[in-house]
Amino acid sequence: MAGIHPPVTDWATDFDHTDPVWAADPYPIWADIRASGCPVAHSERYGGVWLPTRHEDVSAIAYDTDHFTSQSVVVSEGRPMMPAPQGIAPPISSDPPFHHGARRLLLPAFSPKAVAVLEPFTRQYCNELLDAVEGKELVDGAVDYAQHIPVQVIAKMLGFPPEAADTFRMFVHNALEGVDLPVEKRIENFGLLDAYLRAQVDDHIANPRDDLTTFLLNAEMDGEPLNPEHVGGTIALLLIAGIDTTWSAIGASLWHLAKTPADRERLAAEPELLPFAVEEFLRAYAPVTMARLVKDDFEFNGCPMKANEWVLLPFPAANRDPEVFDNPDEVVIDRVENRHAAFGLGIHRCAGSNLARMEMQVAIEVWMDRFGDRFTLADPESVTWSGGQVRGPRQLPITVN
């Protein structure tokens, strides 16, 4: 994809989260900024963007809904067209007080008990994916496996046709990885998503059924039905937010195991460690960096933030802060103390975190049941990572036997 930004030469003053260097390995960039005298970096790109790198600063900004708005959480050249407090994709784009009700509507559908109901389906689907590559020596952990799992699960929850998986992934790619495109192109891409969702919503209005789409169409907030922008925005959020994030987390976990024989062998021998390993993969390879916009000119820890500048919230950087985590760059699959922020902090904690954890756990378990410790990275050089605010392996060739 041809971007519109020149390569970064100075990461302290001109960083760009869509630069290929960041995509390939952002951890040294964050570590350098964190250790510098100025742990909140600034770049003139995207109309101004700030980058906190310490856990303390990332959490302070995540908690501060007075000075920072969630109206848009994806950094781009443009600025949000939908006004606060609802924003374009509630509740992720919403601010208090609207946020509270919009979020409470969704949470029960993603509670541990609701998610547990989806586990057998997820397990069966993961097994089908591996059945489809049976006999092959080379399996792509991202292309053949990880990328399909969250798409299938969210399509089932929303009541969308499962065969539209490739279409969903295109929308996700456009929304999250297409941020380095001109504004007109982004608007055109969102138009495609909008038209697709409208057709699904119309179908659900004509044929109501027991799924999240019908639930949202019938839902009420403060005694009133949701406005059409709210319904459409939330459906878009559910479709987009859970897909490449979880795909990235599953892929990064498999990448780590495929390149780390000691952890692979230990997890194969001690499967009861899996829940701890999943948390450690989430900490060390957290896929998601969120963003906020500065509401009004405001000084944060000595940084003169201007209204309408972006603030990236790199939860993966917070997760590597030595002030909070012992040996943060080491992956310890049975780490005992692990207050990682992979799903964010504060009122916008990822509403789908229970679902994502279930999918990760099942995906890794099914993979390990199938291959034991008999899989290894085919060629470290051919692994590619997505850039932007969701980072994970997009090509992950693994030799299995």
Partner 1 sequence: MKVRVDQDKCQGHNRCYSLAPELFDVDDFGTAKELNDGVVPPGLEDKARLAVANCPEYAIELIED
Would you count residue 112 as binding partner 1 (CB under 8 A)? Answer: yes
CA nearest neighbour of 231 among 205, 260, 254 = 205
Looking at 353, 376, 395, 399, which residue binds partner 1 (CB under 8 A)? 353
Contacts of 223 (CB under 8 A, 6+ apart): none
Would you count residue 199 as binding partner 1 (CB under 8 A)? Answer: no
DSSP states of 91-137 as a string? TTT--TTHHHHHHHHHGGGGSHHHHHHTHHHHHHHHHHHHHTTTT-S
Distance separating alpha carbons of residues 263 and 30, to the nearest angstrom: 26
Would you count residue 338 as binding partner 1 (CB under 8 A)? Answer: yes
Would you count residue 272 as binding partner 1 (CB under 8 A)? Answer: no
Looking at 57, 95, 180, 279, which residue binds partner 1 (CB under 8 A)? 279
CA nearest neighbour of 63 among 331, 290, 288, 356 = 290
Distance of CA 36 to the CA centre of its chain: 28
Would you say 351 or 363 has its CB closer to partner 1? Answer: 351
Would you say 112 or 182 has its CB closer to partner 1? Answer: 112
Distance separating alpha carbons of residues 124 and 369, to the nearest angstrom: 13
Contact between 74 and 335 under an 8 Å Cβ cutoff? The reply is no
Looking at 7, 20, 108, 228, which residue binds partner 1 (CB under 8 A)? 108
Would you count residue 347 as binding partner 1 (CB under 8 A)? Answer: yes
In the complex, least distance from residue 112 CB atom to partner 1, rounded to whole angstroms? 6
Of 15-23, 153-161, 256-264, 345-353, the window that binds partner 1 (rule: CB under 8 A) is 345-353
Would you count residue 152 as binding partner 1 (CB under 8 A)? Answer: no
Q: Which positions from 356 to 375 touch partner 1 by CB under 8 A, shown as an x/- string? A: -x------------------
Would you count residue 345 as binding partner 1 (CB under 8 A)? Answer: yes
Would you say 21 or 221 has its CB closer to partner 1? Answer: 221
Of 126-134, 206-214, 297-305, 351-359, the window that binds partner 1 (rule: CB under 8 A) is 351-359
Would you count residue 96 as binding partner 1 (CB under 8 A)? Answer: no
Contact between 312 and 26 under an 8 Å Cβ cutoff? The reply is no
Question: For tokens 């299938």, what's the residue?
Answer: 152
145 backbone dihedrals φ, ψ, rounded to 5°: -130, -75
Would you count residue 208 as binding partner 1 (CB under 8 A)? Answer: no
HSE-up (13 A, CA, CB side) for residue 7? 3
Looking at 237, 243, 341, 362, which residue binds partner 1 (CB under 8 A)? 341
Would you count residue 99 as binding partner 1 (CB under 8 A)? Answer: no
Beta-sheet pairing, 375-377 with 40-43:
unpaired
CA nearest neighbour of 148 among 243, 281, 257 = 243
Beta-sheet pairing, 138-140 with 397-400:
antiparallel
In the complex, least distance from residue 236 CB atom to partner 1, rounded to whole angstroms? 22
Looking at 339, 379, 380, 382, which residue binds partner 1 (CB under 8 A)? 339
Q: Which residues bind partner 1 (CB under 8 A)?
A: 104, 107-108, 111-112, 275, 279, 336-341, 343, 345-347, 349, 353-354, 357
